[in-house]
């Protein structure tokens, strides 16, 4: 499959994860989110930006615990939990947020 951003096609795999990570852009994230029936708010963007920073350093998305801790530190303890992340990304913070952030899908027993 492919997404269309400003008239340009961005290739994605059968599950909607983009193939070339360099193709990612903020407008693309909005488009991927829309295909997941999500409207991105500043709260979503906080998560997306953290995922991308972590990925740049470690070449993998952070463990959910690492993510909740980082969000808790940044936005307050009431937001540093799984429920907050599931409210933002109902299909699960690991997979759905990675897809929108343009990162590869985490695989395995997760």
Q: Write down the least CB distance from residue 4 to other proteins, Å.
A: 23
Burial class (CB in 10 A: 0-12, 13-18, 19+), 56: exposed
Give the shortest CB-94-to-other proteins separation in angstroms. 7
Q: What angle do CA 74, 64, 46 make, to 5 degrees?
A: 35
> Which of 15, 39 has the CB closer to other proteins?
15
Q: How far is the CB of 7 from other proteins (least distance, A)?
A: 28
Binding test (CB under 8 A) with other proteins, winner from 9, 38, 62, 84: 62
**By C-beta, is 25 or 81 nearer to other proteins?**
81
Taking CB under 8 A as the criterion, the residue among 1, 64, 72, 75 binding other proteins is 64
Residue 89, CB-side half-sphere exposure with 13 Å CA sphere: 25
Tokens 């193939």 found at:
19
């Amino acid at each position: 499959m492919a997404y269309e951003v400003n008239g340009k096609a961005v290739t994605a795999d059968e599950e909607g994860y983009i193939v070339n990570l360099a193709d990612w852009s903020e407008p693309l994230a909005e488009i991927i989110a829309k295909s997941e029936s999500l409207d991105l708010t500043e709260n979503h963007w906080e998560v997306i930006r953290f995922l991308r920073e972590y990925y740049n350093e470690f070449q993998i998305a952070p463990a959910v615990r690492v993510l909740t801790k980082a969000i808790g530190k940044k936005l307050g303890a009431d937001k540093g939990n799984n429920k907050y992340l599931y409210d933002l990304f109902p299909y699960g913070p690991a997979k759905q947020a990675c897809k929108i952030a343009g990162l590869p899908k985490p695989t395995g027993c997760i």
